[in-house]
Amino acid sequence: MSRTSVLILAHLRAPLLVGLVMAASAFATADTPPPEVVTAEVSAQAQAVFDRARDQLLQVRMIDRGTQAQTSIGSGWIASPDGLAITNYHVVSQFVLDPDRYTVEFVRSGGSRGPLTVLAVDVVHDLALVRMAGDKLPALQLASTALRKGDRGFSMGNPHDLGLTIVEGTFNGMTEFTLTEQFNFTGAINAGMSGGPAVTLDGRVFGVNVANLRDGQLLSFLVPVRFVQELLARAPRAAPDPRTLRSMVERQLLDRQNDLFTRIAAQPMPVAPFGRYSVPDSLGTFMRCWGESGPDRTKPYEQAFKTCDAQGSIYIDGNFDTGGVRFRHELLKSKTLGWLRFSSLYQRSFARDTPEGDTTREDVTPFRCHERFVTHDGGTMRAVFCARAYKRLRGLYDVRLKLATLDSTHEGLLSWLAVDGVSLERGLAFGKRYLEAVRWTK
């Protein structure tokens, strides 16, 4: 599984309610409205922005039908006078995947509350369109002009269930080297603020809170407002059957991966030298590669590593991300071990499993694998293809390829490929291209 290891999605689930959050339970429970928190440190500008926006802000709560207690919280905002509102997909993902078990509700700053109907989702950009009852509601306006790097912005939401909060920050343009278009925002977006608006000084929404950087210093991320505009433009007239929302997620994931691999297939497979081999290299600007080599005097062999990872996996639920593409090359070489000990080391390295994150049996089937030996002009490789199906999202698979060269008793190349959330046909076709790109150069 390809979790976005540097990102923490900014909604709050019940197990995280510890420490300060537990201490705050006296004033932030499921039966009371979220308090308003505007600290003394914020500027007069921020105070004015918050005063204008407070009536348009929502806390979004996932409710377990069995206990009628909240299981997670996020934020949202009213986008039209007739009750259309915006939040993140990951805030309402429990309902989308299991509508028989959960419901969704809102709480406004004044304490009014009610049900939310999920109308549509954009799982790729982590957005959800919901509707609340009412008309002539106060709504936030969308920004029509682009911000410049360095412009001030104001993010609002309900961090850690402690109350409606405003955060000042700096707009730093589009993130680079990623599959997912997001704004880089220097501001303290915290758990519970997911789905809240980020606005300009005049109160117009330019982004939606979505994530922050683990161990970073005020590095946060926003969904650009143009994806909100697109979601609002295709708002259905009537609420869909909740059971159709999951099929919407399936279609969007397949469309995204089909588009990605169509673009990849339209160009030759990028390759780069790696020892005496030629191996697949970065597939585009969305993929970062890291490498390390050099002798380790504590080991009787040498190693070199190269890892490439597409940035921008897609949240499905709390234990499950998808949409990733990553691969790793490892070169092993020894002049002192002898063929028997080197063969043992090589076999252990080949047998090593790659981490698959926290995916549960509820999400995916076990891997089914097929092993074969492949001969190229330069030599022979041992290759293992594996695939597993998604249980709740039809037509989607994770595909794995593991290979090892077999032409030397003291040197070898090991390579692992992981492709998540693709059709089986697309995944296997790309795995075949990857395998064919591995060549001997000496």
Same domain, 168 and 267: no
Residue 274: DSSP 8-state: E
Tell me, what's the pLDDT at 413? 97
* Helices 245-265 and 424-437, axial angle in degrees (round to 10): 30
Same domain, 234 and 269: no
Determine the Cα–Cα distance for residues 222 and 195; give it in Å rounded to an integer.
9
Determine the Cα–Cα distance for residues 106 and 114; give it in Å rounded to an integer.
6
Please indicate, yes or no, if residue 31 is contained in any of the structural domains.
yes
Same domain, 84 and 196: yes
Please indicate, yes or no, if residue 244 is contained in any of the structural domains.
no
CATH number, residue 423: 3.40.1000
Please indicate, yes or no, if residue 396 is contained in any of the structural domains.
yes
Which of 186, 216, 239 is where one domain is finished? Answer: 239
Tell me, what's the pLDDT at 428? 96
Tell me, what's the pLDDT at 228? 98
Please indicate, yes or no, if residue 2 is contained in any of the structural domains.
no
Please indicate, yes or no, if residue 1 is contained in any of the structural domains.
no
Which of 212, 239, 266 is where one domain is finished? Answer: 239
Number of domains in the chain: 2
Same domain, 360 and 282: yes
Same domain, 139 and 256: no
Residue 35: DSSP 8-state: P
* Dihedral in degrees, nearest 10, Cα atoms 8, 13, 19, 21: 110
Please indicate, yes or no, if residue 245 is contained in any of the structural domains.
no
CB 198 within 8 A of CB 206: yes
Same domain, 403 and 429: yes
Same domain, 353 and 410: yes
Tokens 């991320």 map to which residue? Answer: 221
Query: Is 118 strand, coil or helix?
Result: strand
CATH number, residue 174: 2.40.10.120
Determine the Cα–Cα distance for residues 124 and 224; give it in Å rounded to an integer.
13
Same domain, 139 and 28: yes
CB 161 within 8 A of CB 12: yes
Please indicate, yes or no, if residue 247 is contained in any of the structural domains.
no
Same domain, 54 and 115: yes
Tokens found for residue 86: 């915006």
Mean pLDDT in runs of 10 for the chain (442 residues)? 43 46 31 48 84 96 96 96 97 96 95 95 97 95 94 94 91 91 92 95 96 77 97 93 95 96 95 95 94 86 94 88 95 92 93 72 92 88 96 95 94 96 96 95 82
CB 245 within 8 A of CB 121: yes
CB 351 within 8 A of CB 344: no
Please indicate, yes or no, if residue 232 is contained in any of the structural domains.
yes
Parent domain of 215: 7-239
Which of 216, 239, 262 is where one domain is finished? Answer: 239
The DSSP result for 201-267, as a single string, is TTS-EEEEEEEEETT-SSEEEEEEHHHHHHHHHT--SSPPPGGGHHHHHHHHHHHHHHHHHHHHHTS
Same domain, 157 and 282: no
Same domain, 320 and 356: yes
Determine the Cα–Cα distance for residues 231 and 224; give it in Å rounded to an integer.
12
Same domain, 233 and 261: no
